[in-house]
Amino acid sequence: MSKIPLPKKIRESIEWKIRDMNSRVCNWVLRVQSQPLKVSNKPAIVFAPHQDDETIGCGGMIALKRSQGIPVKVVFLTDGRYGRPEWIKAEEIIQVRQQEALSALDNLGIEKSQTYFLGYTDGSLAQLTSEQRQQLIDYLVALLKSFQPGEIYVPHSKDGHPDHEATYEVVQMAIAQSETHLELLQYPIWIFWYNVLPFKLCLQYIAHHAYRLCISSVHEQKKQAISRYKSQVPNIPNSLLTSFFAPYEIFIKN
Ligand SMILES: [Zn+2]
């Protein structure tokens, strides 16, 4: 007897509900199992594949550091062109997302001069030729050597989105090639959305390496910064938004 396939819309709706529930449960486990983390006085660079990852993943950390005058740079790797809602024209989306990023970062205390837009095509980072990849790594090595950060923030290595995982990889290679000593902290964005099945395994690994930074003193500031991403917020699933609006941030250390 052949199976009757579920209509696409019903299947997608069930998948969405499973991902949503998975995400809520995993984030709850992370919150209760993670160890407390204090903000350090080390200068930092946040690497973000798209304009919004830095604020939703690390906005509280950025605001805390900037409130103490600690230097923070933000590097955007792609142009974000495919995160386009219908009401924005294709030829305008890159500019719109850059403006949203500058506005969000201004809210967190970062000046335009400390923000870098590398402009790789959205979705292309995992498909760069070896030459393009090395060019990017060389650029990052030069940045690391000139700025000498004590901390680097990148999306999680298993974040489930090709640009996010590729960002982790190129930054990791740049750190190795720069021979600088610094601490690497990974911020999760999509990890529990795209990794539904191996979630138990995921938790066993992450729960032992997860740290929780209290950001309650800059919580409102972070929420305002997220709200500057008017083109992006409506597309973020609710369960993820809830975790991004929490008064703490989770970072994974190797
Ligand atoms: Zn992203």
pTM for the full predicted model = 0.92
CA of 220 to the centre of ligand 1 (A): 22
CA of 47 to the centre of ligand 1 (A): 11
CA of 184 to the centre of ligand 1 (A): 18
What does R_g of the chain's alpha carbons equal in angstroms? 18
Domain annotation covers residue 6: no
Domain annotation covers residue 4: no
Q: State residue 72 phi and psi, 5-degree precision.
A: -135, 130
Domain annotation covers residue 5: no
CA of 1 to the centre of ligand 1 (A): 43
Domain annotation covers residue 24: no
CA of 57 to the centre of ligand 1 (A): 10
CA of 164 to the centre of ligand 1 (A): 6
Q: What is the pLDDT along the chain (254 residues), one digit of tens a residue?
A: 556 667 788 888 888 888 888 888 888 888 888 899 999 999 999 999 999 999 999 999 999 999 999 999 999 999 999 988 888 888 899 999 999 999 999 999 999 999 999 999 999 999 999 999 999 999 999 999 999 999 999 999 989 899 999 999 999 999 999 988 899 999 999 888 887 766 666 666 676 789 999 999 999 999 999 999 999 888 888 878 888 999 999 999 97
Domain annotation covers residue 101: yes
CA of 154 to the centre of ligand 1 (A): 11
Domain annotation covers residue 21: no
At 96, which CATH number? 3.40.50.10320
CA of 35 to the centre of ligand 1 (A): 25
CA of 204 to the centre of ligand 1 (A): 24
pLDDT of residue 51: 97
Tell which residue, 50, 40, 103, 34, has the closest CA to residue 72: 40
Q: In what order do the strands lie in the sheet with 115-120?
A: 35-37, 210-214, 248-253, 183-187, 151-155, 44-48, 72-78, 115-120
CA of 2 to the centre of ligand 1 (A): 40
Q: Helix, strand, or coil here: 35?
A: strand
CA of 206 to the centre of ligand 1 (A): 20
Residue 68 and residue 41: Cα distance in Å, rounded? Answer: 8
CA of 3 to the centre of ligand 1 (A): 37
CA of 194 to the centre of ligand 1 (A): 13
CA of 50 to the centre of ligand 1 (A): 4
Enclosing domain of residue 175: 37-84+92-249
Domain annotation covers residue 64: yes
Domain annotation covers residue 189: yes
Q: How many domains does the chain have?
A: 1
